[in-house]
Structure formats: C-alpha cells, structure tokens
Amino acid sequence: MACDRRDFLKSAGVVGALAATAAVGCAQPASAPPPAPERTRGRGMARGLTLLTFLRDGQPHLGARTDRGVLDVAEAGRLLNVFAPATLDDLLQHKDGPSVEAVVTAALANETAAPAFLAEEGLEYGPLVSRPDKIICVGLNYKRHAEEMGVPLPQWPILFNKFNASLNRHGGEVRLPMDLGGEFDYEVELVIVIGREAHRVSEADAPSYVAGYATGNDFTSRDLANNRGGQWMIGKALDGFAPVGPHLVTADQVDGDDLAIECRVNGETRQSSRTSDLVFGTRALVSYISNYFTLKPGDLIFTGTPEGVIGGLPPDRRVWLKPGDRIECSIERLGELRFDLV
Ligand code: ZN
C-alpha cells in the first residue's frame, strides 16, 4: 500500500513521523490526531460575554454563560473544528476575545456543538484565573471605610500585592493559619481584570484597557497585617487569601464605578455599599498604577473594600472570623462569590 509521507509529515510533525515510520515502516494517517485549528480571528478583548473557569478532571476549562447553559469553549471549538483558547488565562493573555465570541455564536447556531453545553448547577468552579502577571491591591479606598478605620482619606492610592498562590475559587475554602495569626476579616472588593498592556495611560483612556470585572475578597489577617512591623503583605497575601469569581463580566456590560457591593457572613449582611463611594475610581486606579507597573492582559486589581469590616468596629465588638464560617460576596451584575473558612 502506498504511503503518503508528505501529508503525514504535515499533520503529525516531522519528528513524530520519522519515529513512526522507522517503527512501522508506513504510518497510518487515520491514526494521527488532526491538527489543531489555527487562529483565524484577530486579537482583542471579548465583549458581551460572561466568562468563568470550571474544573473537569482537576483541569481548568474556559466556560461562557449562555441561555443554553455554560458552554465549554474549548470543547465547542473541537466539535466545530475552529480555534478556541483552553482557559480564561489564555483568552486574556493572548487577547483571544474575538475567537471566543465567534465560538459562542457558532455553538449557539450549530447542533454539532450541543454536547459542549453544560448545566451550571453542579459545575465545580476553578480559580477564575491562575497565572496573572500581577495582582495589585488598593487599601483604604472607600470614603466610609477610611472613616471607620479612623484614618484620613489617602492622597494617593495605597498599593500592596498578593501572589498567584493567594488565588482561590468560588465554592472553595480559605484555610486559616490559626497558629500564625488571628483577627481574620472579610473584604468584599470589585476586581478589575486588565485586557491589554497598559503603560502610563491616561484616566480618559483607562477604560479601553479593562477586559472586565469580577467579585473578589481581599481576605485579611488584621493581626499579621497590622502587628508585623509596618507592612500589610503577610496579612493579605497568604495562600488562598484572594478568592475571585464566579464570573468575569466583560467591561462593555458594566459601569464599574456604580455597582451595589455586599458581603454576608453566615447569612448576616456585614457590608452593603456602592462602588460610587470609591476614593479613587476604576479609571484613576488603572491610570495611576500603570505609571509605575506596566499592566499586562490578565492582571488583577483589587480596588479596595467598603465600610463594614470587623476591623472597623469598636474593639469590644469585634468578633473575628473562625473556621466553619461561610462568606458570601456579591456585586451587582457580577454574581455571588461564596467560600468557606476551614
Ligand atoms: Zn482590601
């Protein structure tokens, strides 16, 4: 039987083909995996989408919410034989918004993709993103929160950071290191997700650098933040202390500077405010931070927490969080982030 070596080289790669040919003499093209479809759309931010990360066999998958359920974007791409990024990190960092929009539109119009739609109930969420280049946080950035903490309004944004190991997921657990520190506190925060590289951008241009928004919690040990020599980082950046999710809502659908924001502990409302109380709004933050650090697609900015934290209460009324507590954070239009303390 003739063996079309040229076609096989094209589909399987030269190294694999040579090895296979050496082993069996004539490779069987039918057994070679089809080549992955190449990107045909341009680069840019996604619009009009609510995106999420779910876990399957422990691996993160990019999902898009639709009227028919959550679309497994990579699976839809496979069924439709079109390019699709595998994860939300990939979408953001490679600016594959147009490709994802095209997959979602095609999947909704084509029965071939029907198996890629999943019921949202029962999905296990993953960390919304896993490998941002930077996670930058802003302290004391709501007027009424600065008042409750007894400090003047900051003249400049107060910046600190978390690490990728701090990232946590909707439906996840935050482990409290009771032996190291205490005074555990919640901080519901609007999270800005950067969509393209931003270096010294103006406030007027800042919105065009934002891919979307998410609900987050700048989980904190006040003890480790306040009683360790004048830094906040170890009280803020511990493993798992940055839950984000469940969704990334693309920026075209949301005014980040005017959203209701709320946090509940075991069902009791503790924080209830609006992002319009921000000292430095989303435009000012993106612009200011981009002066010092080049923001990359996929970077996160935790914008600060409103009033109502435990640390803002008079000392005799502070009852710190403990294992067994359930935290629910919600921001208008962005969805509810839930996690448990263990
Ligand atoms: Zn905070």
pLDDT of 7 > 50? The answer is no
Distance 248 CA to ligand 1 centre (A): 19
Distance 272 CA to ligand 1 centre (A): 15
Residue with the larger pLDDT of the pair 14 and 223: 223
CA distances to 6, 81, 86, 100, 216 from 59, in Å? 35, 21, 10, 19, 22
Beta strands per DSSP E along 198-288: 210-217, 220-221, 242-243, 248-250, 260-265, 268-274
Cα–Cα dist 106/77, whole Å: 9
Distance 167 CA to ligand 1 centre (A): 14
Structure tokens at 195: 């969509």
In 3D space, the residue among 216, 218, 244, 249 whose CA is nearest the CA of residue 333 turns out to be: 249
Structure tokens at 28: 């069987």
- pLDDT-derived band of residue 181, with 50, 70 and 90 as boundaries? confident
The reported pLDDT for the residue numbered 29 is: 57
Distance 305 CA to ligand 1 centre (A): 5
Lowest mean pLDDT among 130-134, 223-227, 266-270, 304-308: 223-227
Distance 229 CA to ligand 1 centre (A): 19
Residue with tokens 């070679």: 32
Distance 214 CA to ligand 1 centre (A): 14
Q: What is the mean pLDDT of residues 287-294?
A: 98
**H-helix or E-strand containing 320?**
none
Angle of helix 14-24 versus helix 5-12 axis, rounded to 10? 130
The reported pLDDT for the residue numbered 230 is: 85
Distance 149 CA to ligand 1 centre (A): 12
Distance 306 CA to ligand 1 centre (A): 9
Q: Say if CB 173 and CB 340 are below 8 A apart.
A: yes
Structure tokens at 270: 């503790």
Cα–Cα dist 229/237, whole Å: 16
CA contacts within 13 A on the Cβ side of 172: 26
pLDDT of 125 > 50? The answer is yes
Distance 100 CA to ligand 1 centre (A): 32
Q: Say if CB 326 and CB 167 are below 8 A apart.
A: no
Distance 89 CA to ligand 1 centre (A): 23
Distance 107 CA to ligand 1 centre (A): 39
The reported pLDDT for the residue numbered 195 is: 98
The reported pLDDT for the residue numbered 28 is: 53
Structural domain spans, the chain: 1-35, 50-118, 135-341
Cα–Cα dist 211/190, whole Å: 13
The reported pLDDT for the residue numbered 34 is: 74
| Positive or negative torsion for Cα 252, 253, 258, 260 | negative
Q: Over the stretch 10-54, which tens digit does the pLDDT of each residue have? A: 444 444 434 444 444 445 556 777 778 999 999 999 999 999 999
Distance 80 CA to ligand 1 centre (A): 43
Distance 186 CA to ligand 1 centre (A): 9
Provide, for the chain, the percentages of residues in helix, strand and coil under a 3-state DSSP scheme, each rounded to the nearest 5: 30, 30, 40
Considering the domain delimited by 135-341, tell me its CATH architecture: Alpha-Beta Complex (3.90)
pLDDT of 2 > 60? The answer is no
Q: 193 — phi, psi (to 5°)? A: -110, 120
pLDDT of 103 > 60? The answer is yes
Distance 187 CA to ligand 1 centre (A): 6
Distance 77 CA to ligand 1 centre (A): 38
Q: Say if CB 319 and CB 310 are below 8 A apart.
A: yes
Q: State which amino acid sits at residue 7.
A: D
Distance 138 CA to ligand 1 centre (A): 6
DSSP string, 136-193: EEEES-BHHHHHHTT-PPPSS-EEEEE-GGGEE-TTEEE---TTT---EE--EEEEEE
- pLDDT-derived band of residue 138, with 50, 70 and 90 as boundaries? very high
Distance 53 CA to ligand 1 centre (A): 23
- pTM (predicted TM-score): 0.90
Distance 218 CA to ligand 1 centre (A): 5
Q: Over the stretch 237-261, which tens digit does the pLDDT of each residue have? A: 999 999 999 999 999 999 999 999 9
Residue with the larger pLDDT of the pair 164 and 20: 164
